[in-house]
């Protein structure tokens, strides 16, 4: 009996050990002793797929790469083998003895942990990471470059910045790179050019053959003169450096080395536009343009309308200057112009057309000359100012009233009227009176009496209907929320609406309204505002991405408006967009 009991215990222990051996989850490090200037690779390996992997905190290290995930799944001689690995690259913060704590994962409902690993960090070594360094090879063979088309442009002249990643054919780069720091283009009007797919191209870097990809394309228009700084683009990448070893299939086995590459900051020296020869009507247009003034018709009748269009076409800073105004005789009624932009932006800058269309309504018959309009611009290629003047246009009003003084250009005295004779100027004396009795009827039982008596009874159904509508409106939660959001938008934008037409005051009020709104809704201080934090807070509160981008674009427009001329139409569009965006945010905030 005792023998059977011992055998049972042994069988239980054996079965338990076999079952526990089926799941394997362990941590491995590339070395347990390293210099403070070296990097450590740690792999968390498992032989079954799991969920909810939680790495240790790595509090004594900086994570410079990872997590990188690799999966191996194959069969040999009828036996299936599976392996999954999470890899991290660590850089020690200081010298000393440190412990990398446990990682955890759930496999088949059970939680598994790795053993802690002790690592010793010594003083800096001469050959980091031992191999002479795959890191040094990667540094020499990978380069991030910012190519600038013109480092000495004129104010408001277009330049382009193209970011290229050059990689030597001798090494490779894994595809999971990321931008660590994104460049900011302060004091520039900027627009990114969309890149559809990353195509690997052949080129040269410092006389050697390289492969490269274009990561970013940006068009810039400087808004200030002097030395303007462009922040660097910084990226985290994983370089794959050959080790000289091959696998069983004869393929090179690379070693993965995390690298931080940067294009470096660049300085653009912006030249002011020359004062010599600057026309008096110059409004800031820089580029190469054509200009014309046209009308939809030149003959019409009084009170009919025509359209006069001022249009600029060409290549340059089309969105950053104001078109000249149209002046007409005072006897022509002119409405505010409709502004239209048909502009596309590519690597060479803005191209297309902008126009203002005026609606004109003549009041009197006659011929009305529309004076010529001039437009001036600076051409950075020839470094000269150019002026284009339109022809005078004569509007012929064929039918309609004539101005009192017969001068269609001056109708100041047109209010005088001609006195016409009337045969009934003096009427005959009436011989019979037409008197009416002043005796009044009694109020009691009169029509007014019965109307006032029945009015309260008639008002009862009306009151019931009104009450039901009020109850239905109170129950309409979504509708009330929409109406509340619209009222809130109008409340915050009241000051901006009052300052409409005054560029500086309007955009200061608009920006202040947006800030006050966020301060009230998100409970944060104004000193904490930046675009990244605003975007993060709104996204965390379930505001849709396109609404967040509209809000950020309004803030950017407010900043840009301080340096560029802005039309009344643009201010109205920005006001409407701000009201709509505040209303949408208030509806979506949770």
Give the mean pLDDT of the chain: 81
> pLDDT digits over 487-525, tens only?
666 666 787 778 787 777 888 888 888 777 777 777 666
pLDDT at 405 over 60: no
Phi, psi of 74 (to 5 degrees): -150, 165
Average pLDDT over residues 207-230: 93
Report strand pairing: 33-35 vs 117-122.
parallel
Task: Name which of 386, 380, 153, 189 is nearest 282 in CA terms.
Answer: 386
**pLDDT of 407-463, one tens digit each?**
444 433 333 444 454 555 555 566 677 776 666 677 777 777 788 878 887 788 888
Tokens 């309504």 belong to 361
Tell which residue, 264, 30, 246, 242, has the closest CA to residue 128: 30
Bigger pLDDT: 564 or 359?
359
Percentage of the chain modeled with pLDDT above 70: 81
Pairing label, strands 384-389, 374-379: antiparallel
Query: In the predicted model, is pLDDT for residue 204 greater than 80?
Result: yes
pLDDT at 244: 67
pTM of the model: 0.50
Cis omega (within 30 of 0) for bond into 67: yes
Other beta carbons within 10 Å of 548 = 22
CA distance 200 to 182: 22
| Selected residue with higher pLDDT from 434 and 326 | 326
Closest listed residue to residue 534, CA positions, set 548, 516, 521: 548
| Lowest-pLDDT range of 362-371, 375-384, 457-466 | 457-466
């Amino acid at each position: 009996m005792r023998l059977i009991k011992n055998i049972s215990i042994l069988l239980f222990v054996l079965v338990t050990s076999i079952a526990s051996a089926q799941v394997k989850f362990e941590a491995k490090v590339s070395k347990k002793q390293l210099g403070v200037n070296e990097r450590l690779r740690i792999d968390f390996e498992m032989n079954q797929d799991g969920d909810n992997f939680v790495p240790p905190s790595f509090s004594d290290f900086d994570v410079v790469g990872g997590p990188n995930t690799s999966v191996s799944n194959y069969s040999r001689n009828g036996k299936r083998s599976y392996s999954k690995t999470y890899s991290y690259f660590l850089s020690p913060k200081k010298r000393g003895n440190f412990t990398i704590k446990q990682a955890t994962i759930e496999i088949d409902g059970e939680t598994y942990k790795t053993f802690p690993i002790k690592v010793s960090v010594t003083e800096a070594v001469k050959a980091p990471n031992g191999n002479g360094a795959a890191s040094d090879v990667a540094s020499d063979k990978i380069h991030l470059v910012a190519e600038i088309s013109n480092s000495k442009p004129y104010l408001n002249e277009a330049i382009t910045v193209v970011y290229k990643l050059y990689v030597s054919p001798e090494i490779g780069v894994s595809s999971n790179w990321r931008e660590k720091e994104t460049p900011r283009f302060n004091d520039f009007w900027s627009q990114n050019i969309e890149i559809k797919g990353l195509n690997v191209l052949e080129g040269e870097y410092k006389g050697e053959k390289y492969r490269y990809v274009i990561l970013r394309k940006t068009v810039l228009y400087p808004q200030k003169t002097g030395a303007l700084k462009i922040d660097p683009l910084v990226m985290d990448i994983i370089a794959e450096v050959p080790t000289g070893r091959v696998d069983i299939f004869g393929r090179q086995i690379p070693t993965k080395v995390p690298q931080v590459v940067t294009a470096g900051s660049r300085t653009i020296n912006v030249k002011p536009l020359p004062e010599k020869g600057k026309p008096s009507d110059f409004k800031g247009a820089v580029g190469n343009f054509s200009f014309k003034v046209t009308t939809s018709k030149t003959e019409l009748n009084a009170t009919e309308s025509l359209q006069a269009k001022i249009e600029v076409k060409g290549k340059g800073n089309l969105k950053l200057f104001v078109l000249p105004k149209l002046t007409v005789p005072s006897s022509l009624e002119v409405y505010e112009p409709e502004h239209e932009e048909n502009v596309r932006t590519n690597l060479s800058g803005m191209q297309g057309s902008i126009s203002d269309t005026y609606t004109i309504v003549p009041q009197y018959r006659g011929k009305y000359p529309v004076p010529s309009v001039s437009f001036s611009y600076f051409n950075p290629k020839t470094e000269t100012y150019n002026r284009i003047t339109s022809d005078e246009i004569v509007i012929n009003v064929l039918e309609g009233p004539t101005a009192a003084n017969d001068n269609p250009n001056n109708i100041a005295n047109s209010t005088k009227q001609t006195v016409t004779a009337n045969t009934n100027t003096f009427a005959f004396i009436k011989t019979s009176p037409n008197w009416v009795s002043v005796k009044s009827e009694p109020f009691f039982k009169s029509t007014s009496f019965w109307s006032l008596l029945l009015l309260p009874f008639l008002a009862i159904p009306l009151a019931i209907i009104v009450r039901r509508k009020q109850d239905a409106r109170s129950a309409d939660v979504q509708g009330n929320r929409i109406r509340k959001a619209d009222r809130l938008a109008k409340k915050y934008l009241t000051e901006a609406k009052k300052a409409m037409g005054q560029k500086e005051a309007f955009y200061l009020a608009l920006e202040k309204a947006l800030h006050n709104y966020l301060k009230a809704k998100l409970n944060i201080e104004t000193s904490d505002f930046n675009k990244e934090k605003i975007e993060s807070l709104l996204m965390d509160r379930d505001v849709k991405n396109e609404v967040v981008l509209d809000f950020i674009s309004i803030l950017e427009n407010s900043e840009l408006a301080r340096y560029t001329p802005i039309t009344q139409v643009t201010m109205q569009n920005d006001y409407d967009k701000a009201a709509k965006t505040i209303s949408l945010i208030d509806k979506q905030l949770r």
